[in-house]
Amino acid sequence: MKVASVLIPLPVSEAFDYEVPEGMDVARGDQVAVPLGPRLIRGVVSEARETTGSNRRLKAIDHVLDDPRLPERTVDFVEWAARWTLSAPGEMAAAALKGLRAPRPRPERRVRRVGERLPARPTGPRTAVLETLGERSMPGPDLARAAGVSSGVVKGLLDEGVLETIEIEAVAAFDAPDPEHAPAVLNPDQAAAATAIAAATGKGGFAPFLLDGVTGSGKTEAYLEAAARTLKVDPAAQILILLPEIALTQDLIARITARFGAAPAEWHSGVAPPRRRQVWEAVVAGRCNIVVGARSALFLPFVNLRLVVVDEEHDGSFKQDEGLVYHGRDLAVARARIEGATVVLASATPSLETLWNAHQGRYGWLKLAARHGTAVLPEVSLLDLRACPPDPQTWLSQPLREAIGETLLRGEQTLLFLNRRGYAPVVLCRACGHRLTAPDTDSWLVEHRYTGRLICHLTGFTMARPKHCPSCGAADSLVSVGPGVERVEEEVRQLFPEARTAVFSSDTAPDARSARALIQRMTDGEIDILVATQAAAKGHNFPRLTLVGVVDADLGLRGGDLRAAERTFQLLTQATGRAGRADRPGRAVLQTWTPEHPVLMALAAGDRDAFVAAELAEREAAFLPPWGRLAAIILSSENAVAVEKLARELAGSIPNAGRLEVYGPADAPLALVRGRRRKRLLVRADRDVDLQGFLRAWLARVKVPGSVRLTVDVDPYSF
Ligand code: ADP
């Protein structure tokens, strides 16, 4: 009997076996419809084999689906990723089939001439239609428009049989990129980097690189050149460029289009499902060379993947926390290894893990030293707020106000950076001290004045700002505490009423289109002062921006998270790097109450190496990543007792293992969310311990009740 193991989208750790009916031919990667209970569901064949004399009564595969077979290495990747993250392989496989959720686009209806037939009554408009159309086929409305006639004229010709309607299968065309379309002239560092990358793609085999250069040093230009050379050698090569945020894609797509004379395919949640289906089918058919996308693009069925670029590789947005928990950068490296491809991790502020790999010689280290052309890095200075505290209920100190004023006078732009959405992060009752939170949730409600709502950024809960304190009932006792970007903009407008101001956050730019519009207004010089969260901190080039003011440089350093220093260093480097990108020198001013903090001192000195050395030493002392590895197990349930019980059971059944410790259970960083209690256990292991093997053995010892959700986070981003 022939049996196939099929990956189906269920939270189970194994593939399901099905009988392969007589006469059916299936192989690894085939998409099949299989019965599950009363339904048929889509699955992917992981393996097909002959068995002898099994008397298990297996259900049979219903039929092989008419969709393309997943390439062998895509299946390898899916299975590897599931093992690495301890996720269900069928759910990983489903991530690779996401593009197929939309139906095929409907065929396009067009009209064309029927042979040489002529209209019985030729008129001016009718002749115009036939002349416009010629030998081609066109959609009827387009034809009428092009011929300058009413649609009735086209319809009349159709009725008469002079024209006919045909249906054309909508196969999206992806123009082949032309590597010679608009070559760049590279500086020597860029040329060396592009040469090294292209040599690796040309040779084939897994080759990882760190492309390390300050913001504006021309990393993008360098990897695009490497992509061009890769395509010159192999015009069928496929290249994947991952970005941390959708807002950054348009800029890159425009650059790629200008460089190669053809637009790349785009892949992220903002792309409409029918379009995604077209991209998916083009990728698997090898009809599409360059894909620009978010982390989910890693699961596309590439057939000839030669180069993967992870731009802004340090960015925490590459980590997916919900559903399948994985780090896009780590999986990108794995995908490249499995495909035998080159992977380039690009950043001005690489993650400590990546820097460490480069230090150890595991990654080739390509450095771009200077900014391209005449642009120089901004001068960064710390503004000690103890010496010049802002007035009560204001957030900008006198020196920063003066700097903004001078910048305005010169007709240049200012970016004020504060990584906090809304008007005020906390609303507090002066009478009883109560802080407003969403129901059954630990995180505070954030006041948003533009929309007049209090919003929980964690759960999305919103309410109008109440007149009375919900806790003690006092009237008019609620005060807004601390600043968000909206409040800083309010202050700026009062100080500089003539300046044109705007706020850039995920509230004012919730989607790619509105982000693009804001970026365009900034680029066109229609905004003098932009108050922004991290949404505007990365990637964008604003030629007239010469002053960056960081409103609260201490903000990220206060959290209990051990990655706080690294993250703050990266974020502030990116934010300050926005200044002085073109021919005008820029400067950055960081307001701080703790100018002696090592992170801020390293920023002011522009000394990344010092920061990295200090941070690595601290991590080494605690055996934390990259010196050791971590994994978190998070339990959550509305039933607090069930969470407690499972947490205790887990703590009581830890397998024996050396060079590994388990901490907890303890309350998770957010212990109560939407009424769900959350507990966490943390595992720390030496690097050479089989962490996944340990976790699997451990989890196999407990039974997770239906009421509790258990999530495993291998290599957590926050710890
Ligand atoms: P990064 O990716 O390191 O931030 P970019 O590649 O975006 O840097 O380059 C910064 C700016 O310099 C861009 O406007 C880019 O067009 C320009 N640039 C970079 N390299 C070159 C080059 N070799 N020739 C011309 N312009 C370049």
The two beta strands, 413-417 and 290-293, are unpaired
Assess whether the C-beta atom of 716 lies below 6 angstroms from ligand 1: no
Going across the sheet that includes 587-592, the strands are 379-384, 587-592, 545-550, 413-417, 529-532, 501-504
Assess whether the C-beta atom of 464 lies below 6 angstroms from ligand 1: no
Rounded to the nearest 10 degrees, the angle between the axes of helix 608-621 and helix 564-576 is: 170
Residues pairing with 45 in the sheet: 6
Assess whether pLDDT exceeds 60 at residue 375: no
- Band (pLDDT 50/70/90 cuts) for residue 322 is confident
Atom of ligand 1 nearest to the CA of 539: 4
Residue nearest to ligand 1 atom 9, measured at CA:
218
Residues pairing with 92 in the sheet: none
What is the percent of the chain where pLDDT is above 70? 97
Residue among 372, 519, 538, 540 whose CB has most ligand 1 atoms within 8 A, to mutate: 372
pLDDT tens for each residue of 486-521: 999 999 999 999 999 999 998 888 877 888 889 889
Residue nearest to ligand 1 atom 15, measured at CA:
218
- Band (pLDDT 50/70/90 cuts) for residue 449 is very high
Distance between CA atoms of residues 540 and 255, nearest Å: 12
Tell me how far the alpha carbon of residue 575 lies from the centroid of ligand 1, in angstroms. Answer: 18
Q: What is the DSSP string of 360-394?
A: TTSSEEEEE-S-STT--PPEEEEEETTTSPPPTT-
Reference 478, options 461, 488, 491, 463; nearest CA is 463
Assess whether the C-beta atom of 215 lies below 6 angstroms from ligand 1: yes
Atom of ligand 1 nearest to the CA of 541: 14
Reference 288, options 321, 346, 244, 239; nearest CA is 239
Does 288 appear as a known binding residue?
no
Atom of ligand 1 nearest to the CA of 348: 3
Residue nearest to ligand 1 atom 10, measured at CA:
216
Distance between CA atoms of residues 193 and 231, nearest Å: 16
Pick the range with the lowest mean pLDDT from 50-54, 598-602, 629-633: 50-54
pLDDT tens for each residue of 474-492: 999 999 999 999 999 999 9
Reduce the DSSP state of residue 657 to 3 states and report it.
coil
Tell me how far the alpha carbon of residue 373 lies from the centroid of ligand 1, in angstroms. Answer: 8
Does 456 appear as a known binding residue?
yes
Rounded to the nearest 10 degrees, the angle between the axes of helix 598-605 and helix 608-621 is: 150
Tokens standing for residue 480? 């807004």
Does 388 appear as a known binding residue?
no
pLDDT at position 563: 81
pLDDT, average across residues 312-327: 91
Assess whether pLDDT exceeds 60 at residue 55: no
The tokens 């999530």 sit on which residue? 711
pLDDT at position 72: 96
Tokens standing for residue 331? 């999986």
Distance between CA atoms of residues 275 and 259, nearest Å: 23
- Band (pLDDT 50/70/90 cuts) for residue 371 is low
pLDDT, average across residues 341-365: 95
Assess whether the C-beta atom of 568 lies below 6 angstroms from ligand 1: no
pLDDT, average across residues 448-472: 90
Residues 6+ apart with CB under 8 A from 95: 78, 296, 299, 324
Atom of ligand 1 nearest to the CA of 186: 23
Assess whether the C-beta atom of 538 lies below 6 angstroms from ligand 1: no
Pick the range with the lowest mean pLDDT from 43-57, 146-160, 669-683: 43-57
Assess whether the C-beta atom of 244 lies below 6 angstroms from ligand 1: no
DSSP 8-state symbol, 120:
S
Atom of ligand 1 nearest to the CA of 215: 4
Backbone φ, ψ for residue 523 (5° rounding): -65, -35
CA distances from 299 to 96, 172, 234, 302, 332 (A): 5, 20, 22, 8, 10
Assess whether the C-beta atom of 31 lies below 6 angstroms from ligand 1: no
Assess whether the C-beta atom of 217 lies below 6 angstroms from ligand 1: yes
DSSP 8-state symbol, 497:
T
Assess whether the C-beta atom of 347 lies below 6 angstroms from ligand 1: no
Assess whether the C-beta atom of 349 lies below 6 angstroms from ligand 1: no
pLDDT, average across residues 20-35: 95
The tokens 């941390």 sit on which residue? 244
- Average pLDDT of the chain is 91
Distance between CA atoms of residues 413 and 543, nearest Å: 9
Assess whether the C-beta atom of 582 lies below 6 angstroms from ligand 1: no
Reduce the DSSP state of residue 691 to 3 states and report it.
helix
Q: Which of 140-154, 214-228, 330-344 has the highest mean pLDDT?
A: 330-344
pLDDT, average across residues 187-209: 96
Atom of ligand 1 nearest to the CA of 214: 3
3-state secondary structure 157-191: HHHHCCEEEEEECCCCCCCCCCCCCCCCCCCHHHH
Tell me how far the alpha carbon of residue 717 lies from the centroid of ligand 1, in angstroms. Answer: 30
Tell me how far the alpha carbon of residue 184 lies from the centroid of ligand 1, in angstroms. Answer: 9
3-state secondary structure 10-43: CCCCCCEEEECCCCCCCCCCCEEEEEECCEEEEE
Assess whether the C-beta atom of 187 lies below 6 angstroms from ligand 1: yes
Residues 6+ apart with CB under 8 A from 656: none
Residue nearest to ligand 1 atom 5, measured at CA:
218
Assess whether the C-beta atom of 475 lies below 6 angstroms from ligand 1: no
Distance between CA atoms of residues 223 and 225, nearest Å: 5
pLDDT at position 574: 81
Assess whether pLDDT exceeds 90 at residue 314: yes
Assess whether the C-beta atom of 259 lies below 6 angstroms from ligand 1: no
The tokens 């962490």 sit on which residue? 691
**Residue with more model confidence, 401 or 539:** 401
Distance between CA atoms of residues 27 and 34, nearest Å: 15
Q: What is the pTM assigned to this prediction?
A: 0.84
pLDDT at position 537: 64
Residue among 212, 215, 221, 573 whose CB has most ligand 1 atoms within 8 A, to mutate: 221
Assess whether the C-beta atom of 40 lies below 6 angstroms from ligand 1: no
Assess whether the C-beta atom of 120 lies below 6 angstroms from ligand 1: no
pLDDT at position 254: 93
Q: What is the ipTM of this complex?
A: 0.96
- Band (pLDDT 50/70/90 cuts) for residue 645 is very high
Distance between CA atoms of residues 687 and 684, nearest Å: 9
Assess whether the C-beta atom of 220 lies below 6 angstroms from ligand 1: yes
Q: Please, what is the Cα angle at 9 between 316 and 41, to 5 degrees?
A: 145
pLDDT tens for each residue of 577-620: 777 765 677 888 999 999 998 888 888 888 888 889 888 888 88
- Band (pLDDT 50/70/90 cuts) for residue 377 is low
Reference 504, options 538, 480, 481; nearest CA is 538
Residues pairing with 17 in the sheet: 5
Tell me how far the alpha carbon of residue 219 lies from the centroid of ligand 1, in angstroms. Answer: 7
Residues pairing with 108 in the sheet: 168
Assess whether the C-beta atom of 372 lies below 6 angstroms from ligand 1: yes
Atom of ligand 1 nearest to the CA of 255: 16
3-state secondary structure 190-255: HHHHHHHHHHHHHHCCCEEEEEEECCCCCHHHHHHHHHHHHHHHCCCCEEEEECCCHHHHHHHHHH
Give the rounded distance of the alpha carbon of 118 from its chain centre.
57
Reference 483, options 558, 543, 581, 416; nearest CA is 416
Assess whether pLDDT exceeds 60 at residue 419: yes
